[in-house]
A and B are shown apart, each in its own frame.
Chain A
């Protein structure tokens, strides 16, 4: 309370987390396996591809010891498809996130709780046509660090900017449907977009909650009164909710 730290992550922190994403590199020099905290990296032998964390790949790229293979969703054809989905197919909702690589079944598994950046959503074999959680920052970082590795980088840059603008407009429109209790669906929204909108959306919802608090209290009291008056009616209500 004394230190009003902002809620959520700052853009710098989001970008930092994003650097844990795995990307595929094509090494130009041999490098033996490195022991990192997160586990050993694969040994690099020139013509063979390998998956490395983004920060490590950026380091090798800067030293000209590897080329980064852009993820399939960052290619112009994929981005055009996503943009068409955003503007024409479903102009009101965000395009869906990539499917979970480990199918989630009714039986709980250890992989159920894997989330970005620990999902391989930006390696060379990731599915195209879906924007992963860290799309904005990953695209931005890759365009900055290795635009020579990305085919048609200028087109990609324009498409990313278009996508961002379309989705910003949707984010803004979603403020209109906010309720005190819940939100409209934010499925498919990226980490940077959340960092941008979080404080505002939380603020609007908080305001609505405060204004509606008295009504909520009144409603609860009324329900309690009714529940105390007629026990049978109350149990009926509960059954209705269960259905």
Chain B
């Protein structure tokens, strides 16, 4: 991921649940308790970049400052839904950068199953996206976006990476159509 990549930055800004293992003085504002000590054992949602730094840093040699948990968007419930039917899950409602978050979490946790489910889901949904992207816009003259009503629901649930896929596929198939139309006109 590039330093200047806005998607990478936004991915890192997504929140993950953390549990503080130590008392931290005057950090209470994180827990709506300004000016007070943040007690150990408090659960706070922190951005991924901060949570990662805190989790790997070890102020006292025995334990780290916070422990990370798997975010709710990658919870077993979601994984089961993805396993059952990848196309029916609204990933955007779970996380804007769902796959980016997934990849970052997989760097921190060794979760073979999540990795399998995410890869399979990405592949299945990509095929579906490709179908929608090549056909979108063809029926524009008849009004509407050219996407069937069942497709709208699916396309609304795409995460940012999938939207990028949709865009490139739509652009390239449109470019071909434009070129073929131009040769017809002469």
Contact = CB atoms under 8 A, between A and B. Distances in A.
A208 interface: yes
A211 B119 contact: yes
Interface stretch (B31-39, B76-84, B99-107): B99-107
Contacts, number: 98
A12 B179 contact: yes
Nearest to B102: A211
B154 interface: no
Contact of A200 (B130, B175, B178, B179): B130
Interface stretch (A85-93, A105-113, A212-220): A212-220
Nearest to B109: A214
Interface string B123-155: 110110011011000000000000000000000
Contacts of A146: none
A11 B186 CA distance: 16
A168 to B, nearest CB: 8
Interface in A171-202: 172-173, 175-176, 178, 180, 192, 195-200
Interface residues of B, number: 38
Interface stretch (B17-25, B40-48, B160-168): B160-168
B75 interface: no
Contacts of A195: 172, 175-176
A139 to B, nearest CB: 11
A196 B112 contact: no
Given A141-B183, A211-B119, A212-B119, A11 B176 contact: yes
B60 interface: no
B122 interface: yes
B135 to A, nearest CB: 11
B2 interface: yes
Contacts of A11: 175-176, 178-180
A20 B134 CA distance: 29
Q: Considering residues A192, A199, A200, which has the most beta carbons from chain B within 10 angstroms of its beta carbon?
A: A200
B170 to A, nearest CB: 9
Interface of B: 2, 4, 99-100, 102-103, 106-107, 110, 112, 115, 118-119, 122-124, 126-127, 130-131, 133-134, 161, 164-165, 168-169, 171-173, 175-176, 178-180, 183-184, 186
Sorted nearest first, the 8 A-B pairs with minimum C-beta distance are A11-B179, A199-B168, A200-B169, A214-B106, A204-B126, A214-B107, A210-B103, A203-B165
Interface of A: 1, 6, 10-12, 15, 140-141, 144, 168, 172-173, 175-176, 178, 180, 192, 195-200, 203-204, 207-208, 210-215, 218
Given A199-B168, A204-B126, A211-B118, 13 more contacts: A140-B183, A175-B127, A178-B123, A196-B173, A199-B171, A200-B168, A203-B126, A203-B165, A211-B115, A211-B122, A212-B115, A212-B119, A214-B115
6 contacts: A195-B172, A211-B99, A213-B103, A214-B106, A215-B106, A218-B110
